[in-house]
Structure 1
Amino acid sequence: MVRMTRLHLVLRGAAALSLALGGFGLGTTALGADGPAPVLVGHIDGEINPITARYVDRVVSDGESDNAAAVVFVIDTPGGLIDSTYQITARFLATRVPIVTFVAPAGARAASAGTFITMAGHVAAMAPATNIGAAHPVDSSGGDIQGDLRLKAENDAVAHIVNIAKTRGRNEQWAEDAVRKSVSARVDEAVAMKIVDLQANDVSDLLTKIDGRTVTTSAGSVTLATKNAPVVDDGQNPFETLLHFVVDPQIAVLLFTLGTYGLIFELSNPGLIFPGIIGVIAIILALFSFGTLDANGAGVALMVFALLLFVAEIKVQAHGLLTAGGVAALLIGLIIVFPPFRPTFPGVRQSVEPLVVIFVVGLTAIFFGVALRTALRPLPVVSGASLLVGAIGVAKTDIAPRGIAHVAGEDWTVVSEGGDVPKGGAVRVKRVDSVRLIVEPARGAEGKGAA
C-alpha cells in the first residue's frame, strides 16, 4: 500500500510539473488596461478532463486579473470526468468575473458534464439546433453503475447540479431529472423551462443580448457591459492542446508502447539516438497521462516492469523467458491500470479499450517472437560468417562493450571482450555470435583491412 501511494505521488508530481511548465510563458496575450473592459472567449470542446479544468481556471484567472467585462465559454462537449467537471463548476461559482456559458455553434451539445458546466454560468445561452442534458453517471467503461455505488454517485451528482440550479435561479426539478432520468432539452425547450436564459445565433449576437443584465459574482453585483466591448479569443495554447490530446487512456497506452519500442531499438542498435529520444519522450508523456488520469499504481508498475523485462531480454540470453514474463506483466497492467467501475459522466471512457489491449499485447508478442527467432537462428554457411573471423574493422561508435563497427563492407552490432574501443579504433573479429560479432581491440592494425 505504501509503495502504491508513493507511485501515485510521483505520477501526480510529474503531471503537476508538466502543467506548470505548460502554463509558464504560454498564457494568453496580455490585455491592455486602457479602453473598455474586454470580453474573453474560451472554448470547452471535446471530452472534459483535468487539462480542460486547468485551462478553464487559467482563462477565468485571466479575466479576473484583467478586469474583463465577462468571460464567455463556447461549449460543445459529449461529457467527461466527474472530478474535472466539479472543479470547473466550483471555479464558476466562486469567480469574481461574470461567466457566460454558450452552447454553440449550431448542432453543438452540452451533454452530461456539459450540462453542469452550462448551468453554472451567471448567464447561460444556447445557439439554434443545440441541446443539453443526459447527465446520469456511468462507470469508466461507459456502462451502467450497479449496486450501492450507483445510488451514491447519482445522489452526489443530483445534489451538486441542484445546488448549481438553485444558486443560478434555474429549473431545479429539470436539473435533477437530467441526472436521475437522463432527460435532454432542445434550445427552445431549455429557454421555456428556464434551464438557460436565452438563445443567440453567435457570440456577437450573445454579447448584444446580454448587455445591461445584472449578475451577482463573489465580488458583488455586476452590470454587464458587453455590447461594444472588445472581444479577445483565449483558446488553448499549443501545449495545452497537446496535453488535452495526450490525457486519454488509449493514447497513453499507445505512447507507452511506442516508447518501449523506441528504447528497445536504441539499446539493440547503440548510436542510432533518434529511437531513444522518441522513446523517452513518449514514455514521459504516457506517465504524465497516467498520473493526470489517476491511474492505478499497480497497473503502471506492471507496465514499467514489463518494459524492464523486455530490455533485459536484449542483454541476457534467457531464451524468451523474460519476453514471456514481460508480455504477461504488460497484459495484466493494461487490464488493471484504469479500474472499470470508477463513476464518471457519459461521453468519456476512462478505461483501455479491449481492442487496444489485444493490439498492444499481440503486436509486442509478435515483435519479440520474431526478434527472438532471428537472434537464435545461426547464420547460414553461405553467408561467409567463417570468413569474418580474424577480419579487421573500424568502430563507428564507442564500443563499451557494445557498439557498431564496420567490418567486411557492412555495419555490425559488436561486443568487445578485450576492452573498450573508442570510435575510429580498429577491432578484430574473434567469432560470430548469431547476428552480432564478438571483437577485440586490434592494436597496431589501424587502417589495415578496415574497409
Structure 2
Amino acid sequence: MQFLRFLLPVCLGVLSVTGFAAPLTGQMARVGVTDSDIEDLRRWREMRQWMDEAIAQGAEGLILDINVTQSRAQAALSLAEEITRLKVKTKAYVNTSAIGGGALLALACDEIWMAPGSRIGAAPPKVTADEALSPKAQDTLLAESLAVLKAGARSLCKLKGHRPEIADAFVDRDKGLVLGATTLADKGELLLLDADTAVQPIEGKPLLARGIVPNVEALAKAAMPEGKLLVLNGVWYEQRLKKAEEAKPTSPVAAKPEVPAPSVISHSQSFAGKVVIIPVGQDDLIIPARFEFMKRTLGRCNHDGAEAVIFELDTPGGLAWDTISLMMKDLQGLKARSFAFVNTRAISAGAMIAMATDAIYMAPASAIGASTPVSGDGTPLAEAERAKNNSAFMGMARTVVREKGHDVRIIEGMIDMDRGLSINGQVIIPKGEIVTLDSAQATMLIDGKPLLARGIVKSIEEIKQRESLKGEVITAEPTGFERIAIWVTRYAAILILIGLAGGYLEMQTPGFGLPGFVSVAAFALFFFGHYVAGSLAGQETMVVAAIFILGVVLIGVELLAAPGTILPGVVGFVCVMVALVYAMSGWEVVVPEGGSAGGFNLGAYAAGLRSFALGVTGAAVLITLLCVWLPDLRPFRTLILQASAGGTLEDAPAMQAAIRARAGDTGTARSALRPYGTIDIGGRLVEAMVEGGYLQSGTSVRVREIRGEKIIVEAV
C-alpha cells in the first residue's frame, strides 16, 4: 500500500510529461493584435490570459498576427516587455502593417515575418500639444519620452537579436539609418520598411525580417509541418475553462507536489541573515505611504541584521523629494549591502533609487534613466524653475552617487538633457538627449569597468550567486496598518469628499445623526492613515488636528450662528485646507551638497492640493445632488405624513397659510431667522427665510419673493 501511494503521483507526473495533461502539445497558437488591443489595457490583459493558458496547456509557440497602424509606441513598450518574458518561441507576423506600437511588439518577438506588401516601423513618441507649456517645456517633455522609448526599443532588439540601430531609426527621426552603402532612412525622417526591404540581406543577414509568407497558416506550417494552428480568442478561452471545470475529479486522488512560493514576511518575522526584497512597482513611488513602508523596512534590516537588501524596480518614477530623502537618509544609513535589480524599468525616481545602492543589475530587456524633475501633474517645469531644480537635484544626488562608486556624469546626464554622456571621448548619449541606458549600454565596459551596472541577470537568484549571498530570500510586504495607510493616501480625495459632504448634511439637520458619524469616521480614517504613512509625526499631529477642528468650528459658526458674515467661513475653510493638504504632504527639508536648506517647496504639495481640490469639488456635486433628489427618494417620502392622515402634505394648515402668501405682504418675525424661521402674516404663522444675513425675533418683515415653496423675506 505504501508503494502504491508513492507510485501514483509518479505515474501522474509521467502522464503529464507525455501529453495527457498538455492537450496543446504540437500546436502553434495565434493571437491577433490591433490598435485597440494596445490602447485598451483591459483588452490586453484579457489577451494575456489567453496566451498564458495556451502556454500552460503545452503550446509549442506563439504567433502575434499584427495589424497595427496608429497606436502609441509608449503604450506598447510595457506590453512588448511582457512578450519577451514568455517561455515559448514567439513569432511576429506583420499582416499589412506594424506601425507605432505594433513595431515594438514585433521587435519583442524572436522572429519577424512579413506578409506581401506589409510595412513595419515609424514608432516615434507622441506627446499631446499643450498651449500652456512653453516651447522649451514641450521639447523637454518630448526628449524625456524619446529617451525612455529609444532605450526600451534598443533593449528589445539586443535581447531578441535584431539590429539595435533599426530601433533607433524607428523611434528617432534625427538618427536616420545607413548600413554599409545602403541608405535606408535620411536624417529627419523615420524608418518605415516595406516587406521587400525588411527581408533584404545586409552584411550577410536579413535586415530585420526572416522572410515573406502569404499568411499565418503558411508560417505555422513552416514552423511545425505536422502541427496545427490554434486561434486564441474569447470563445476558445471560455471553452478551455469549461472543460477544465468538467475534468476536475470528484474526489482527491493524490496530492500534487506544490511549487514553493517566494517567502513573504510576517509582522513578527526577523530579517536576521536574510536577503530582503523590496518590490517597487508601477504606482509605488507616487504614494507617500510606500516610502514610509520602505523606510521602516530598511530600519528593520538595520535592527535585525539583514545580509542584503535588493530593490526590484519596474517603475516609471514618482515623487522626487521623497526619493531624495530615501536616498540621502535611509539608504545611506543602511548597514547591509544594497542592490538594485532593474526589472524592467527604473525611470526617473526609480533610477535615482537604483544609483543610491551599492550595485545595479539589469534584466535582459530593461532601461534606466530619464530623471529630469517635472511638476506635480507630470508636465515639464518652466525654464528658470527647471534650471533651479536640476541644480538642486544634481547637488543632492551627486553626493549619494559618488559615495556608492558610480560615475556622477551619468546621473547628471539623466537629470539635465543639455549634458549628454561622454566617457573618455566616447559619446554614449549626445547632448540634447536625456540619458537613458538600455541593459547593454549600462553594462558596457569602459577601461575594463562596467559603465553603470555589474551585469545582466534574469532573476534574483542570479544576483545571489554573483554576490555570494547565502541568506534566505524574503519579500517585504506591508503590514495591516501599513496597507490601511497606503489605501488612505491613495484614495484621500474620496475620504475628503465623504467627510465634507457628511459634515455639511449634519449641520443642516437637528441633533447628531448618521451624516455626522460618517463624516467623523471619514476624517478619523484620513488622519490615522496619514499618521501611519509618516506624513504626520509627533507634536505636529496635534497641531494639524487642532487647526482642522478650529476650521470646522469656524465653518459651523458661519452656517449656524452668524450666517452671512463670510469671514469665519473663509478662515475656517483655509484652516481645513491647510490641515488636510499638510497631512497629505508632510514637510521635508533637504540640504543640497554645499548648499542651504531647500526650504518651502510648493511642488511637494502639488499632490495634496490636487486631492483636496478633487475632494471639495466632489463634495459640492454630491451635496447638490442630495439636496435635489434626496427628498424624492422612497425611504424619505415615507417619513412625511400624507394619505394616512387624510389628504396630502399640501392640505396641512401651515402649507395652506404659506400658499396664500404673496410678494409684498408684510408681517413680523416670531422667531430669529438664521436664515430660516417663523413669521406672522395677517395672523398666519408661516416658515420663511432671509438671504445674506439673519433677523432677530420681532423684526418687521416684508415678503420679497415666492420661490417655489420658499418664502423669501427682508427687513422693512
The answer to whether TM tops 0.5 is yes
Report the counterpart of residue 334 of structure 2 in structure 1: 95
Describe the superposition over 1:285-337 as per-residue Cα deviations: whole angstroms up to 9, x where unpaired: 44467786699x99x97998478637964x5696xx69999699869987995
The runs of 5 or more residues in structure 2 that have no matched partner are 1-264, 418-433, 445-449, 586-599, 656-684, 689-716
1:333–1:28: structure 2 CA closer, same or farther, 3 Å change rule? closer
The 2-side partners of 1:303 and 1:254 are apart by 20
Among 136, 141, 162, the alignment partner of 2:377 is: 141
The 2-side partners of 1:66 and 1:139 are apart by 38
Report the counterpart of residue 349 of structure 2 in structure 1: 113
TM-score by length of 1: 0.59
| 1:30 CA displacement | 2.7
Verify: 1:283 aligned to 2:523, yes or no: yes
1:353–1:266: structure 2 CA closer, same or farther, 3 Å change rule? closer
Describe the superposition over 1:395-428 as per-residue Cα deviations: whole angstroms up to 9, x where unpaired: xxxxxxxxxxxxxxxxxxxxxxxxxxxxxxxxxx
Verify: 1:188 aligned to 2:427, yes or no: no
| 1:125 CA displacement | 1.7
The 2-side partners of 1:238 and 1:102 are apart by 27
| 1:384 CA displacement | 7.2
The 2-side partners of 1:385 and 1:293 are apart by 57
The runs of 5 or more residues in structure 1 that have no matched partner are 1-25, 212-225, 390-430, 435-451
RMSD of aligned alpha carbons? 4.8
Report the counterpart of residue 82 of structure 1 in structure 2: 320
Report the counterpart of residue 258 of structure 1 in structure 2: 498
Aligned residues: 335
TM-score by length of 2: 0.39
| 1:266 CA displacement | 5.1
Report the counterpart of residue 66 of structure 1 in structure 2: 304
Any idea what SS the aligned residue of 1:42 has?
Answer: strand
The 1-side partners of 2:565 and 2:301 are apart by 55
Verify: 1:360 aligned to 2:600, yes or no: no
Point out the more displaced range, 353-362 or 159-168: 353-362
Larger Rg: 2
Among 350, 357, 362, the alignment partner of 1:126 is: 362
1:312 and 1:322 in contact (8 A); partners too:
yes
Residues 10-409 of structure 1 aligned to structure 2 (within 5 Å): 28-31=267-270, 37-45=273-281, 46-90=284-328, 91-104=330-343, 108-146=344-382, 148-181=384-417, 182-192=434-444, 194-211=451-468, 226=469, 228-248=470-490, 251-265=491-505, 268=509, 272-273=513-514, 275-287=515-527, 305=551, 309=555, 313=559, 342-343=602-603, 349=607, 351-352=609-610, 356=614, 359-360=617-618, 362-364=620-622, 366-367=624-625, 370=628, 382-383=648-649, 386=652
| 1:53 CA displacement | 3.0
1:255 and 1:286 in contact (8 A); partners too:
yes
| 1:121 CA displacement | 0.9
The 1-side partners of 2:571 and 2:650 are apart by 39
Any idea what SS the aligned residue of 2:399 has?
Answer: helix
Letter in 1 for 2:412: E
The 2-side partners of 1:333 and 1:32 are apart by 41
Larger relative CO (CA 8 A, sep 6+): 1 or 2? Answer: 1
The 1-side partners of 2:523 and 2:529 are apart by 10
| 1:239 CA displacement | 1.9
Describe the superposition over 1:159-186 as per-residue Cα deviations: whole angstroms up to 9, x where unpaired: 2222233222223212110000132122
The 2-side partners of 1:83 and 1:306 are apart by 31
2:499 and 2:519 in contact (8 A); partners too:
yes
The 2-side partners of 1:289 and 1:146 are apart by 34
The 1-side partners of 2:410 and 2:398 are apart by 9
Any idea what SS the aligned residue of 1:138 has?
Answer: coil
Describe the superposition over 1:56-102 as per-residue Cα deviations: whole angstroms up to 9, x where unpaired: 22212222222222122222332222331122112212221111222
1:139 and 1:341 in contact (8 A); partners too:
no
2:376 and 2:607 in contact (8 A); partners too:
yes
The 2-side partners of 1:154 and 1:109 are apart by 22
| 1:262 CA displacement | 2.9
The 2-side partners of 1:372 and 1:283 are apart by 24
Any idea what SS the aligned residue of 1:40 has?
Answer: strand
2:555 and 2:572 in contact (8 A); partners too:
no
The 1-side partners of 2:440 and 2:577 are apart by 45
1:242–1:76: structure 2 CA closer, same or farther, 3 Å change rule? farther
| 1:38 CA displacement | 1.9
Point out the more displaced range, 116-125 or 332-341: 332-341
Point out the more displaced range, 238-247 or 85-94: 238-247
Letter in 1 for 2:339: V
Any idea what SS the aligned residue of 2:610 has?
Answer: coil
1:331 and 1:361 in contact (8 A); partners too:
no
1:302 and 1:330 in contact (8 A); partners too:
no
Letter in 1 for 2:325: Q
2:366 and 2:439 in contact (8 A); partners too:
yes
1:312–1:326: structure 2 CA closer, same or farther, 3 Å change rule? closer
| 1:116 CA displacement | 1.1
The 1-side partners of 2:411 and 2:270 are apart by 37
